[in-house]
Amino acid sequence: MGSGKGSGGDSPVAEIDDKFGVGGGVHDTYGEDSATEDQLVTPWTISVASGYSLLRDPHYNKGLAFTEKERDAHYLCGLLPPAVLSQELQEKKLMINMRNYQVPLQRYMAMMDLQERNERLFYKLLIDNVQELLPVVYTPTVGEACQKYGSIFRRPQGLFISLKEKGKILEVLKNWPEKNIQVIVVTDGERILGLGDLGCQGMGIPVGKLSLYTALGGVRPSACLPITIDVGTNNEKLLNDEFYIGLKQNRATGQEYDDLLEEFMSAVKQNYGEKILVQFEDFANHNAFKLLDKYRTTHLVFNDDIQGTASVVLAGIVSALNLTGGILADHTFLFLGAGEAGTGIADLIALEISKKTDIPVEEARKKFWLVDSKGLLVSSRKESLQHFKQPWAHEHEPIKDLIDVVNAIKPTVLIGTSGVGRQFTKDVIEAMASFNEKPLIMALSNPTSQAECTAEEAYTWTEGRAIFASGSPFDPVEYNGKCFAPGQANNAYIFPGFGLGLIMSGTIRVHDDLLLVASEALASQVSEECYEKGQLFPSFADIRKISAHIAAQVAAKAYDLGLASRLPRPKDLIQFAESCMYSPIYRSYR
């Protein structure tokens, strides 16, 4: 097998990709963790695709970019019109088409069609136009796609595992055509973005997240497996929809749910080995915390809603220190919203403060105040709180309204993770500005309509003194002749590079220290130019470079902690990360 990038030329033989092959060193084709010897395996054949079937194989199809020589050699003559286009020209044409679509969902469908037709062109488009296409293949458009999944559904993507497969999940995993899987993104569809329970239609999320793993982190597409676990849905609208694609029953809970997830996690490890990364995505918070706690010591698991969010927000705050001066431990943090995002962020920042200042984490937590739908978390409420909220319930009188909490606590950092829009009112922001020279305000709730305040409000109500970041993008704001470009705390800054770092080093467990170094790595990529505009995050245009940097730092930490199994440790980890990254450039076929 050749080494890619149009080098010596390859036969379009099924399976086994370029850089992650033996050369890249991240591939474990038939290594120690593929399967145990007594396991049943699917009979697997390797064939050479040609002619009509080659044009219909998205891994190898190049459409009009097949050269005359390739058309001759692979029985394509007559199956294509005469013109031969370069990949660049194909890309240009597709982007013109894409921009002509008025409706975001049409763009999403066009991208999905392309992915099914010509995988390399899909990734080339996504990588070269990442800022424009990220909102198409991921949030916000993917949310609408999930809501309408039943009607736009054409060909199944990913693997569906439902309660019907109980007792045979291992067999179902073996039905997936690719064998060398490195990352699984799995959802049970119970809390899709801010849209609630979408049941089986949540599949759009793992599919979208994994396309970002490839485009932004360079994990090869054939190593990515999207999975939806269907335990039913409590969404009445879907249950009554004759076209609903999932199980028509209420969600299984308790033992039945736990047993299915346990069987899934065991089957995954049995089939793919110790180093398979399982990313939990958009589970409702009661299950999200439970699954992470349960499997973090036995599997390589990562929850992007909890850990990825925490890591990206910590990066933003570390980066803001360049504007506010001082150290993390100088700050007092107030969160509106004490769920997966809020408590996950608070946990990681408290850990960072504890490590940096050598104080116990319990002590560091005293700098954090969280508000949920019932008001400030205080010790008198402790008994009735969910376990993940309890560490944040401090000694204080109960307070219900956010403005009263702000005035009582006088935070320097205000973070919105409630999922409820317009909660950072003029009073709240003005209060922040009255006792902070540069109040740090993060309105993280998505989508844009649910943001706690807009960028314009934050800058205007603080007379241009706020340092602002949000979960959804906002346009730059002009205030008093100065242009402010708000930063977006997008999880896509962290998880692709983080995952690549785990994979390329053969790391077997996620340790919190890996999240801390990922945050530092991201913060270190913010340029002076960004700071001048008030931006806390680097430009997305450089995302592959940023991901390589994060991957290298994560891998380095994993080696230091003895969690990395791929030996010897590469000398230059950034260079190694870059060399492991999937390239979407067409290869030549002999």
Phi, psi (degrees; rounded to nearest 5) at 487: -90, 155
Cα 383–388–394 angle (5° rounding)?
A: 60
Torsion angle (degrees, nearest 10) of CA 365, 369, 373, 377: 70
- H helices of 284-442, in order, are 285-295, 309-324, 340-357, 361-364, 402-409, 426-435
CB of 257 or CB of 392, closer to ligand NAD: 392
Q: Which one of 140, 217, 226, 419 is in contact with ligand NAD (CB under 6 A)?
A: 419
Site for ligand NAD contains 134 (CB under 6 A):
no
- x-or-dash string of contact with ligand NAD, 345-384, rule CB under 6 A: --------------------------xxx-----------
CB of 161 or CB of 494, closer to ligand NAD: 494
Q: Which one of 446, 535, 553, 579 is in contact with ligand NAD (CB under 6 A)?
A: 446
For residue 531, what is the DSSP state?
Answer: H
CB of 257 or CB of 493, closer to ligand NAD: 493
CB of 18 or CB of 340, closer to ligand NAD: 340
- Minimum separation from the CB atom of position 131 to ligand NAD (A): 16
Spatial distance between the Cα atoms of 524 and 513, rounded to a whole number of angstroms: 17
174 a catalytic residue? no
Catalytic residue among 19, 62, 209, 275: 209
From 116-124, 203-211, 440-448, 457-465, span contacting ligand NAD (CB under 6 A): 440-448
- Minimum separation from the CB atom of position 457 to ligand NAD (A): 17
Which single residue brings its beta carbon nearest to ligand NAD? 339
Q: Which residues inside 16-55 make contact with ligand NAD, applying CB under 6 A?
A: none
Range 168-176 contact pairs with CB under 8 angstroms and sequence separation of 24 or more = 169/260, 169/263, 169/264, 169/267, 170/267, 170/270, 170/271, 173/267, 173/268, 173/271, 173/272, 174/40, 174/41, 174/42, 174/271, 175/42, 176/225
Q: Which one of 309, 311, 436, 507 is in contact with ligand NAD (CB under 6 A)?
A: 309
Contact 446, 410 (CB under 8 A): no
CB of 273 or CB of 342, closer to ligand NAD: 342
CB of 21 or CB of 471, closer to ligand NAD: 471
In this structure, are strands 467-470 and 440-443 parallel, antiparallel, or unpaired?
parallel
Site for ligand NAD contains 492 (CB under 6 A):
no
Distances (CA, A) of 165 to 168, 177, 416: 5, 18, 40
Distances (CA, A) of 90 to 79, 252, 517: 18, 47, 39
CB of 28 or CB of 305, closer to ligand NAD: 305
Q: Which one of 141, 157, 417, 547 is in contact with ligand NAD (CB under 6 A)?
A: 417
Spatial distance between the Cα atoms of 293 and 284, rounded to a whole number of angstroms: 14
Site for ligand NAD contains 226 (CB under 6 A):
no
From 26-34, 166-174, 486-494, 525-533, span contacting ligand NAD (CB under 6 A): 486-494
Contact 364, 354 (CB under 8 A): yes
138 a catalytic residue? yes
Contact 494, 212 (CB under 8 A): no
DSSP track, 233-290: ---HHHHT-TT--S--SPPP-HHHHHHHHHHHHHHHHHHH-TT-EEEE-S--HHHHHH
CB of 412 or CB of 488, closer to ligand NAD: 488
Spatial distance between the Cα atoms of 218 and 577, rounded to a whole number of angstroms: 9
3-class secondary-structure state, position 343: helix
Q: Which residues inside 191-210 make contact with ligand NAD, applying CB under 6 A?
A: 194
Catalytic residue among 60, 108, 123, 138: 138
Q: Which one of 445, 519, 525, 553 is in contact with ligand NAD (CB under 6 A)?
A: 445
- Minimum separation from the CB atom of position 472 to ligand NAD (A): 8
Site for ligand NAD contains 305 (CB under 6 A):
yes
- Minimum separation from the CB atom of position 19 to ligand NAD (A): 29
CB of 61 or CB of 285, closer to ligand NAD: 285
Q: Which one of 90, 118, 201, 450 is in contact with ligand NAD (CB under 6 A)?
A: 450
Distances (CA, A) of 270 to 74, 160, 171: 39, 18, 11
> Site for ligand NAD (CB under 6 A): how many residues?
27
Site for ligand NAD contains 415 (CB under 6 A):
no
Q: In the chain, what is the straight-line distance between the N-terminal and C-terminal CA atoms, in Å? A: 11
Q: Which of 253, 262, 311 is nearest to 291 (CA)?
A: 262
Q: Which one of 285, 307, 324, 412 is in contact with ligand NAD (CB under 6 A)?
A: 285
HSE-up of 280 (CA within 13 Å, CB side)? 29
Spatial distance between the Cα atoms of 331 and 411, rounded to a whole number of angstroms: 7
Site for ligand NAD contains 141 (CB under 6 A):
no
The dihedral through the CA atoms of 395, 401, 405, 407 has a sign that is negative
- Minimum separation from the CB atom of position 380 to ligand NAD (A): 17
Peptide bond into 140 cis (omega under 30): yes
Site for ligand NAD contains 312 (CB under 6 A):
yes
Spatial distance between the Cα atoms of 279 and 223, rounded to a whole number of angstroms: 14
The dihedral through the CA atoms of 57, 58, 59, 61 has a sign that is positive
CB of 60 or CB of 138, closer to ligand NAD: 138
- x-or-dash string of contact with ligand NAD, 313-352, rule CB under 6 A: -----------------------xxxxxxx----------
- Minimum separation from the CB atom of position 563 to ligand NAD (A): 25
Contacting positions for ligand NAD (CB under 6 A) = 194, 285, 305, 309, 312, 336-342, 371-373, 417-420, 444-446, 450, 471, 489-491
Hey, which residues are catalytic here? 138, 209
